[in-house]
Chains A and B, each alone.
Chain A
């Protein structure tokens, strides 16, 4: 995860859906809109860093979990609810970035990460 985050912080290459993913975009699920994960890669235990973008380049992490925990859609949904509650506590309910959406192209990703 450190390697992926280092690339993000330095403005280096980040690959959509390999390194970072907007969790509502694959099936256009509005309940997950604006909810993001950074992804670490095997063979070490795969992990996910969840959070929201306050604005371009400003990712606010709200939780860090092993990928193996997510065994059903219900677990994903609960994770989104928990992370949103943490976001609200951190920001006093401020809005997070949700445009453009869905995020399926490199250009759309760059709008969030600011490359």
Chain B
């Protein structure tokens, strides 16, 4: 097992990416759940904001970009969506074996309308399919 103290110093770009990945992960789940409720329950930014005493424009700004996400907004929006926030953090080395796109693991057939039999790998590859991190975050509907 690698000793953390012996790992190389992160570059500025790597540090930026690390922070942005966390924001992007949180944002993608919140925006996805909001969109789901918008479609099924006609939820709006205004109605969501009313639950947490925030304006429509405030909620819209939070959900418009990953870069507006903070731990505070994550917690507030998860609560407003009546969702349970679950965070897990796993050592990266334990998860770096095989993480190809689900469609590249043979689990899905070719699309209708396409002549491709679904055997040729057109994207991904070993480098692109490696996960960038081993951490995860879930927002679970209560």
Q: Which A residues form the contact surface with B (CB < 8 A)?
A: 2-4, 6-16, 18-19, 41-44, 53-60, 94-100, 105-106, 111-115
Q: List 21 A-B contacts (CB under 8 A).
A: A3-B20, A3-B24, A10-B99, A10-B132, A11-B102, A11-B103, A12-B28, A16-B35, A41-B66, A43-B65, A44-B67, A55-B110, A55-B122, A56-B109, A57-B103, A57-B104, A57-B124, A95-B114, A96-B114, A106-B35, A115-B102
Which residues of chain A are within 8 angstroms of B116 by Cβ–Cβ distance? 54-55, 58, 94
A-B CB pair tally, cutoff 8 Å: 107
Contact among B36, B109, B123, B128 with A58 in the assembled complex (CB-CB below 8 Å): B123
Contact among A9, A15, A42, A60 with B129 in the assembled complex (CB-CB below 8 Å): A9
Q: Are B123 and A112 within 8 A (Cβ)?
A: no
Which residues of chain A are within 8 angstroms of B24 by Cβ–Cβ distance? 3-4, 7
